[in-house]
Amino acid sequence: MKKQLSITGIAALLVVAAGVPAQAVTYGTPTIALSASYLTGAVGAVGDPSVNVTVGQLGADPAALTVSASASTRASVAGTGDVTVTGAGAVRQLAVTARGRGYTSLTVKVTGLGGKSATKTLSYAASAAVQNPADARYFTGASDSSAAVDVGGGYTVVADDENNVLRLYDRSRSGAPVRTWDFSTQLGVSKEVDIEGATRIGDTVYWTGSLGNNKDGEYKAPRNTVFTTAVSGSGAATQLAYGRSYQRLREDLVDWDTANGNRYGFAAGTAAGQAPKQIDGFNVEGLEFAPGSTTTAYLGFRAPLAPAVPGGRALIVPVVNFDKVLSSGAKAAFGAGIELDLGGLSVRDLRRNAAGQYLILAGSWAADDNSDPYALYQWDGVPGHAPVQRADLPTTDPGGWEALVDVPDLSVAGARVQVVTDSGSADLYGDGVEAKDLTHPEWKKARAAWFTLN
């Protein structure tokens, strides 16, 4: 008996010495983590956002693990076969191709060695197809985009009129912002400035609130704000720093108009109870500098029209010392109002390029369902010179056209411009919930679309 045990022990030692395990390897339970639990897409979209899936298993090479979608609660929105996983290491990329509008919960499964697996749930929301989907990108994280400034390298900083966060996006891709800034503390505000216009001169970006009442006709001081940010770097490396602000431009405009016979009705348009988005209301949405100037800025008005009747002209008011208003707090001084025939539409954005060519994004003064006409007009920025229409914009898709990112060379045939929507009031997913009220910021989004000018 003792001899037999001795032989067994020697055999065991020989097995170990030869590097052969005495028993089968035991693998741990796989781990799986998603970079985001919520994801949005659109039917027919190009380059929708994706999520990273990080996997691992004790005792196993990550390359030996497989990742797939194992279940969907609503295959008509996206089924398991509509999920694509790429990559072979510890981090994989998961993308979803939308089949239909709505919501589904996707079960993402990692299968490891030893027959063990683990799952995570990805909550997915798909919006409907839009016209020319190949030219559309979706900036996620917010839905009420209201102004945009190009910062080079294919990137843009976008403002939102429901909060004071500025977001940096890659113009060519759908997805979340690369970086964000919130200057509420520096501005001394706790509510939204209602940012509606922006422009850049050198390394300074000027931003303006709407200056008007809120939708209920109430005066809210944060909306009476213009401010600056300093830009450093460019592209994905862009950084913004707070500059200065001014909170009396609305009063200066009312005083100027009153002194000139109430030509534009600013006092009445800012009165208590007066909604801003009326034909005779008061609401600023465009900001750009005059031709060749770094001191005179044009304020483009959504309301009022001039005169304030259907078919009236769009109004632009020059602030001739805008640089001093922001740099030293000087009281604003104004030039004569500029009245432009935009076919009864008003200014929703205004942008100039380095060659002095202007594009005007024209739309309705009304707070409607965004089914009213939108158009792009070319202008030379000279008072008395008529703008020329270059394109009609589609109105059948969700969201209202709100911001011009930049202006291409308008003398080149086939010039293309990127326009961003305010989709805050849109029912993106067919559940009756406005985008601004969605619970998860990953599901909020604004559409940026490219258009070729006629």
Res 25: pLDDT: 76
Tokens of 288: 């750009």
Cα-based distances in Å from 374 to 37, 55, 185, 386: 36, 48, 36, 18
Res 12: pLDDT: 37
Mean pLDDT of 143-150: 97
Pairing of strands 416-422, 136-140: unpaired
**CA atoms of 189 and 225, how far apart (whole Å):** 10
Res 16: pLDDT: 37
Amino acid in position 168: L
Question: How confident is the model over 396-408, as pLDDT tens digits?
Answer: 999 999 999 999 9
Find out whether 206 and 287 touch, Cβ atoms under 8 Å. Answer: yes
Instruction: Establish how many alpha carbons lie within 13 A of residue 22's alpha carbon, considering only the half-sphere containing its beta carbon.
Output: 9
Nearest 5°: phi and psi at 2?
-65, -35
Convert 50-80 to b/e letters by CB count within 10 Å (16 or more is b): bbebbbbbeebebeebebebeebebeebbbe
Question: How confident is the model over 420-449, as pLDDT tens digits?
Answer: 999 999 999 999 999 999 999 999 999 999
Q: How confident is the model at residue 368 (pLDDT cuts 50, 70, 90)?
A: confident
Q: How confident is the model at residue 367 (pLDDT cuts 50, 70, 90)?
A: confident
Res 22: pLDDT: 44
Nearest by Cα to 112 from 33, 59, 34: 59
Mean pLDDT of 228-254: 98
Mean pLDDT of 371-391: 96
Res 370: pLDDT: 75
> 17 pLDDT exceeds 50?
no
Give the start-end residues of each E strand in 83-202. 83-86, 91-96, 102-111, 117-127, 136-140, 145-150, 155-160, 165-170, 179-182, 195-201
Mean pLDDT of 323-338: 98
Res 369: pLDDT: 66
Q: For the chain, what percent of residues have pLDDT higher than 90? A: 93
User: Strand, coil or helix: what is 381?
Assistant: coil
Nearest by Cα to 443 from 102, 191, 178, 160: 102
Res 11: pLDDT: 36
Query: All domains of the chain, ordered by start, with CATH?
Result: 31-127 (2.60.40.1080), 133-452 (2.115.10)
Res 18: pLDDT: 41
Question: How confident is the model over 104-143, as pLDDT tens digits?
Answer: 999 999 999 999 999 999 999 999 999 999 999 999 999 9
Res 227: pLDDT: 98
Question: How confident is the model over 44-55, as pLDDT tens digits?
Answer: 999 999 999 999
State the pTM of this model: 0.92
Question: How confident is the model over 192-206, as pLDDT tens digits?
Answer: 999 999 999 999 999
Query: How many other C-beta atoms are found inside a 10 Å radius of the C-beta of residue 1?
Result: 5
Q: How confident is the model at residue 2 (pLDDT cuts 50, 70, 90)?
A: very low
Sequence-separated (6 or more) residues with CB below 8 Å from residue 399? 370, 421, 422, 423, 426, 446, 447
- Please state, rounded to an integer, the average pLDDT across all residues of the chain: 94
**CA atoms of 163 and 184, how far apart (whole Å):** 9
